[in-house]
């Protein structure tokens, strides 16, 4: 019985130590979330508005003005950019993003996959870990995995500029982004979006088509404006994913702390029961020994 009590005490000590770690991780994630949430809240309205404006412009472009980033062509070569975190302990956050990417490949680019023409570029280590264990028929680019840890606009724009050049040169016919869209601390939405070519406004869209006045001229503005908007949209996916990661980790650590508290409660009840049994047994042995001595 003493051995059992010692084992329960060790388990209680272990759970307390784990609970302290989960509490600390929750506090750290909460602090990081405030900063990341502030960044995405500031950028998202601006980026979304620019994207709508770009889509509107390309839907109403006229004359000889054009941009290669808005030209749809037969899709033979596909690039999927998967943005995940470098670390785990954030629930199913990374797995959900990867599943969204797999669904996009299977549903949208099944033919290209069968032809071996689907390439996946990873930003964040967890996405690569997920894919390399499960899919051997895809082409992988891992040069930019660790840019996730330093998502400054200067670093991210270098990658987006390269991808834009490769699209213009015909290396890829379509580029999609898959990332975690931040809604709030408890909700993160795995999202797949077409980045290139720039989606045009659908005919049934009720949003008013703007009649823009271009100055100095339409072509010069497109050559300057379109790359800037695309790079900002690419950067936004990293900011979204980082805020989502910290929210998911904070929620996961909060739940882990609650589970540890519940486990501690049960372990303490079991410990008290075992201790009471041991005391009762010892008292019984003492009483029995005393009775035997009196009888002698």
Sort 105 into a burial class: Cβ within 10 Å, 0-12 / 13-18 / 19+: buried
Report the pLDDT value the prediction gives residue 202, as an integer from 0 to 100. 63
Contacts of residue 102, Cβ cutoff 8 Å, sequence gap at least 6: 135
Q: Which of 128-142, 189-203, 230-244 has the lowest mean pLDDT?
A: 189-203
Alpha carbon distances (Å) from 283 to 3, 79, 278: 19, 75, 9
pLDDT confidence of residue 65: 54
- Indicate whether 95 pLDDT > 80: yes
Q: Is 90 a catalytic residue?
A: yes
Which runs of consecutive H residues, i.e. helices, occur in the chain? Answer: 2-59, 93-108, 110-114, 125-134, 153-168, 218-295
User: Is the sign of the CA dihedral 222, 227, 228, 229 positive or negative?
Assistant: positive
Contact 169, 149 (CB under 8 A): no
Structure letter (DSSP) for residue 142: -
Residue 73: inside a domain, yes or no? yes
pLDDT of 110 over the 60 cut: yes
Choosing from 58, 79, 90, 164, the catalytic residue is: 90
Describe the strand order of the beta sheet including 78-83 as a list of residue ranges.
Answer: 139-141, 118-123, 78-83, 174-184, 187-196
- The vertex-53 CA angle with 181 and 79, nearest 5°, equals 50
Tell me the CB-side half-sphere exposure of residue 271, using CA atoms within 13 A.
15
Lowest mean pLDDT among 33-47, 124-138, 165-179, 277-291: 277-291
**DSSP category for residue 192:** E
**Range of 112's domain?**
34-248
pTM of the model as a whole: 0.86
Predicted local confidence at residue 293, as pLDDT: 77
Q: How many Cβ atoms are within 10 Å of 113's Cβ, its own excluded? A: 16
The answer to which of 57-66, 113-122, 179-188, 242-251 has the lowest mean pLDDT is: 57-66
Stretch 276-287: mean pLDDT, rounded? Answer: 81
pLDDT of residue 201: 63
Lowest mean pLDDT among 62-66, 75-79, 105-109, 193-197: 62-66
Q: Predicted confidence band at 157 (pLDDT cuts at 50, 70, 90)?
A: very high
Give a yes or no: residue 161 inside a domain.
yes
Q: Per the domain annotation, does 124 fall within a domain?
A: yes
Question: Is the pLDDT at 246 greater than 70, yes or no?
Answer: yes
Cα–Cα distance for residue pair 295/55, rounded to 1 Å = 101
Q: What confidence tens digit (pLDDT) does each residue in 17-71 have?
A: 999 999 999 999 999 999 999 999 899 999 888 888 887 777 766 655 567 888 8
pLDDT at 135: 94
- Is residue 223 a part of any domain in this protein? yes
Number of Cβ within 10 Å of residue 38's Cβ equals: 11
Instruction: Mention every residue, 6+ apart, whose C-beta is less than 8 A from residue 18.
Output: 256, 260
**265 domain residue, yes or no:** no
> Domain total for the chain?
1
284: pLDDT strictly greater than 90: no
Q: Does some domain include residue 2?
A: no
- 125: domain CATH number? 3.40.1380.10
Average pLDDT over residues 133-149: 94
Calculate the average pLDDT of the chain: 89
Distance from C-alpha of 9 to C-alpha of 3, rounded to nearest angstrom: 10
Query: What percentage of residues in the chain have a pLDDT greater than 70?
Result: 91
- pLDDT one-digit tens code per residue, 197-239: 988 766 555 555 556 677 767 777 778 888 999 999 999 999 9
Q: Is residue 23, in this structure, part of any structural domain at all? A: no
Q: Do residues 182 and 37 touch, judged by C-beta distance below 8 A? A: yes
Domain annotation covers residue 175: yes
């Amino acid at each position: 019985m003493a051995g059992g009590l010692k084992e329960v005490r060790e388990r209680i000590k272990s759970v307390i130590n784990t609970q302290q770690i989960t509490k600390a991780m929750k506090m750290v994630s909460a602090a990081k979330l405030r900063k990341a949430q502030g960044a995405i809240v500031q950028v998202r309205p601006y980026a979304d508005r620019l994207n709508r404006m770009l889509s509107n412009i390309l839907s109403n472009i006229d004359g000889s003005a054009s941009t290669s980033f808005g030209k749809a062509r037969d899709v033979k070569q596909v690039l999927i950019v998967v943005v995940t975190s470098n670390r785990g302990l954030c629930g199913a956050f990374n797995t959900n993003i990867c599943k969204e990417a797999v669904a996009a490949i299977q549903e949208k680019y099944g033919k290209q996959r069968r032809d071996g023409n689907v390439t996946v570029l990873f930003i964040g280590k967890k996405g690569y870990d997920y894919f390399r264990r499960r899919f051997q028929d895809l082409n992988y680019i891992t040069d930019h995995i660790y840019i996730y840890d330093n998502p400054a606009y200067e670093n991210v724009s270098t990658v987006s500029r390269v991808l834009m050049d490769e699209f213009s040169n015909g290396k890829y016919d379509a580029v999609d982004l898959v990332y975690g869209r931040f809604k709030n601390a408890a909700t993160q939405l795995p999202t797949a979006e077409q980045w290139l070519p720039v989606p045009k406004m659908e005919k049934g869209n009720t949003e008013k088509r703007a009649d823009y006045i271009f100055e100095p001229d339409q072509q010069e503005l497109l050559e300057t404006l379109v790359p800037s908007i695309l790079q900002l949209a690419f950067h936004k996916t990293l900011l979204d994913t980082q805020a989502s990661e910290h929210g998911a980790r904070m929620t996961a650590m909060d739940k882990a702390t609650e589970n540890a508290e519940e486990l501690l409660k049960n372990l303490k009840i079991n410990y008290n029961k075992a201790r009471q049994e041991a005391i009762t047994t010892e008292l019984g042995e003492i009483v029995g020994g005393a009775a035997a001595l009196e009888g002698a």
